[in-house]
Amino acid sequence: MSGRTPHDGASAGNESPSSGFSLVAVLVFMLIVSAIVVPFAVTAKTRLMIANNEVEQERLSLLAEGLGNLVASELTGGSGTKTFALDSTPAACRSGAFSFDVRVQDHGGLIDLNAADDNLLALGFASLGFEQQASQALAEAALRFRDNAKLFAGQPGPRSAVGPPQDKQAPFESVSELQEFAALASVPLQALHAAFTVNSKRGTISADRAPNRLRAALATGSSAALVQAAEASAYTVDVAVRRDGSGITGQAEFIIEKSPVSDTAFRRVSRSPARDAGTLPAGAGSAGCEVLFGSEAAQLLQGWSS
C-alpha cells in the first residue's frame, strides 16, 4: 500500500508551475543584466581600440617627423639633392614590417604666385584642368588680387566671376589664399600646392623639377619663363610611414628653407596640407633605407621595427 497521501500529490502538482515560473524569471533577469552590461563592454572595447589606434598614429607620426627632419638636413647639406628626385616623385624603402615613402619638391619647379607673369600663372591653372579662357581669367584675377593698386590703378574694370570677392592688394602669403577665388574654392589644397608656391621668389620655373601634371602643361606654353634648374630656395618634404596590416599612416609634410645661420642648417617655413591617407599611392622607386636615410638611421629603424 502506498504511503503517498492525496495532500502530497497536490503539493507536487503545485511545484511544477512554480519551478517553471522561477526559470523564466531567472532568464528574464539574465537578459536584463546582459542588456545593461553588454553596451558597457562594447563601449570599453571600442574605447580601447580607439586609444590603441591613437597611440599607433602618434608613434608613426613622430617617426615621420624625425625622418622628415633627417631628409631636410640631407637636402640643405647637399647629399639629398642626389638621393631624391626633386619633382615629387616618390621613393620608398622597407624595414621589417614598416614601409616608408618620401617625396621632395624643389620650389623652383613650382610657379611663384607673387613673381610669375600672367602667362606662367595661366599655365599653372591649366595644369589644374581649367580651359585656356578660364586659366587666363584666373591669371588676371591673381595679378589683380596681389597688386591691384599698382597694376590696375585708374582702370579697375569689371570684377571677374572666377576671382575672389575682394582683392587683397598685397602679395600672396600662402597658396591657400587661392581658395578665396570662386573658381578654385573646390580645388583641393594639395592640388594647388602641386602647382604654385610663394617661396621660390622667381618669375621663372625649372620645368625639369616640376610635378608631372604641371610639366605637361608647361610643355604647351611659351618657353620664355622656363629655365634650367637653379639652386633651390625652398623644398617641400613629405614622409609617410605605414605598418603592414594596419590602415594607419603617420605623415609629416612641411616646407623648409636654408637657414641664414649655416649653409647646412634649415628652418621650417610652414606645414603643407597632408595628403589623405587613403589616396597615398605606393612609392614608385624602391631603395634601401640606408640609401634614403643613411646607414645609421637604417640600423635604428631595423632595431625599432624588429
Torsion angles phi and psi, residue 294, rounded to 5: 95, 155
CA atoms within 13 A on the CB side of 48: 6
Closest by Cα among 291, 296, 306, 268 to 100 = 291
pLDDT-derived band at 281 (thresholds 50, 70, 90) equals low
Kindly report, residue by residue over 45-99, the tens digit of the pLDDT: 788 778 888 888 899 999 999 999 999 999 988 888 888 999 999 999 999 899 9
Q: What is the DSSP letter of 23?
A: H
Calculate mean pLDDT across residues 250-259.
Answer: 92
CA distance 48 to 43: 9
pLDDT for 158 equals 65
Nearest Cα residue to 36 out of 47, 24, 28, 48: 28
CB of 249 within 8 A of CB of 242? yes
The full DSSP string for 198-238 is SSS--S-EEGGGS-HHHHHHHTTS-STTEE-----SEEEEE
Structure confidence at residue 1 as a pLDDT band (50, 70, 90): very low
Question: What's the length of the chain?
Answer: 306
Rounded-to-integer distance, Cα 101 and Cα 305, Å: 16
Place of cell 584666373: 138
For residues 156 and 173, is the Cβ–Cβ distance under 8 A? no
Q: What is the pLDDT of residue 179?
A: 96
Q: How many whole angstroms separate alpha carbon 115 and alpha carbon 172?
A: 10
Looking at 150-154, 169-173, 262-266, which range is the least confident one?
Answer: 150-154
pLDDT tens for 87-112 read 999 999 999 899 999 999 999 999 99
Question: 59: Cβ–Cβ under 8 A, 6 or more apart, which residues?
Answer: 250
> In three state form, how does the secondary structure of 243-277 look?
ECCCCCEEEEEEEEEECCCCCCCEEEEEECCCCCH
CB 117 within 8 A of CB 226: no
Q: Which residue has the cell 524569471?
A: 25
pLDDT exceeds cutoff 70 at 212:
yes
Could you give the domains of the chain? 62-108+230-304 (3.30.1300), 115-188 (no CATH)
For residue 286, is pLDDT > 60? yes
Contact 203, 109 (CB under 8 A): no
Cβ atoms of residues 135 and 123 within 8 Å: yes
Q: Which three cell numbers stand for residue 116?
A: 610669375
Q: CB-hemisphere CA count at 13 Å for 200?
A: 29
pTM of the model: 0.78
